[in-house]
Amino acid sequence: MAVKLRMTRMGRRHRPFFRINAVESHTPRDGRVLEKLGHYDPIEKDESKQIVLNTERIKHWLDKGAIPSDTVSRILLRQGIKTKYAEEKSARRARAKAIARAKGKLFTKAERIAAEKTAEEKAKAKAEEEAKAKTETKAEAAEEKAKTEAEAKAEAPEVVEEAVEVEAEPKAEVIETKTEVKAPEAAEKEVEAEAAAEPKAKTKKKAKAKPKAKEEAVKEAKVAAGIEAEGKKEAKAGAKAEAKSEVEEGQKPKKKPVRVKKTDKSDEN
């Protein structure tokens, strides 16, 4: 039966503690232990007390053919104990690493992380360069547009004046021909419109004259009524003035005659 040197976890949660034991290869994790060979305390602050080993018994089991696990072999290397299994494994690992590098592949996780970081940095640098190139191209395009617009504005007035001078003559000829053709037709239309407008104007004048005559008659009636009212007022004022003058002179006002009723003689007897 083969023997292995491996670790069993002890302690509580968040406080690990490992024991190094010599165990048969077919026994479970918490199975029967052949011999306790030391312990490993990763939380211990003092590095000299982290690893405690019985080196004599470990060498005894290694000489008999015990196979240490990877973690145990690393711990033994830290304490200066070399094993043929650890050397063989390191040689295999070096060969595999060389083959991976020859093929251009990444072997360890650290190498993969470093490669990813470099790729990200390169991508960022490329993006920044592209952004700068775009901004530069946009600025150059804007400058070229501004220059072309300024040149076009400087050349535009002369070109427009030439075009106007060239196109003005044929348009004037066309307008003259159109007016010559349409002159007799326009004269006939104007005569017809005047003939149709004369009766309408007469009817409008009559309609306007009627309300004016009515207004004049009303004004004359008002004036006559005002004259009569003024005459009556003057007559009343004259009568009042005469009465006052008689009273001042001492004349009594005339009494009205008294009428006597006639009686029959038969009644007197």
Task: Give pLDDT, residue 87.
Answer: 80
- What's residue 199's pLDDT? 61
Most distant pair of Cα atoms in the chain: their distance: 206
Looking at residue 178, its pLDDT comes to: 45
CA separation for the pair 74, 58 (Å, rounded): 14
- Answer left, alpha or beta for residue 264, where phi above 0 means left and psi between -120 and 50 means alpha: beta
Looking at residue 204, its pLDDT comes to 60
Positions in the chain whose pLDDT score sits under 70: 1, 156-188, 191, 195, 197-214, 228, 231, 235, 242-269
109-131 tens-digit pLDDT: 887 888 888 888 889 889 988 89
Residue 144 in contact with residue 151, Cβ under 8 Å? no
pLDDT for 186: 64
CA 44-48-53 angle, to 5 degrees, is: 95
According to the model, what pLDDT value does residue 53 have? Answer: 92
Tens digit of pLDDT for each residue in 46-92? 888 899 999 999 999 998 888 898 889 889 988 888 888 878 888 88
Domains of the chain (ranges; CATH) run 3-103 (3.30.1320.10)
pTM across the whole model: 0.39
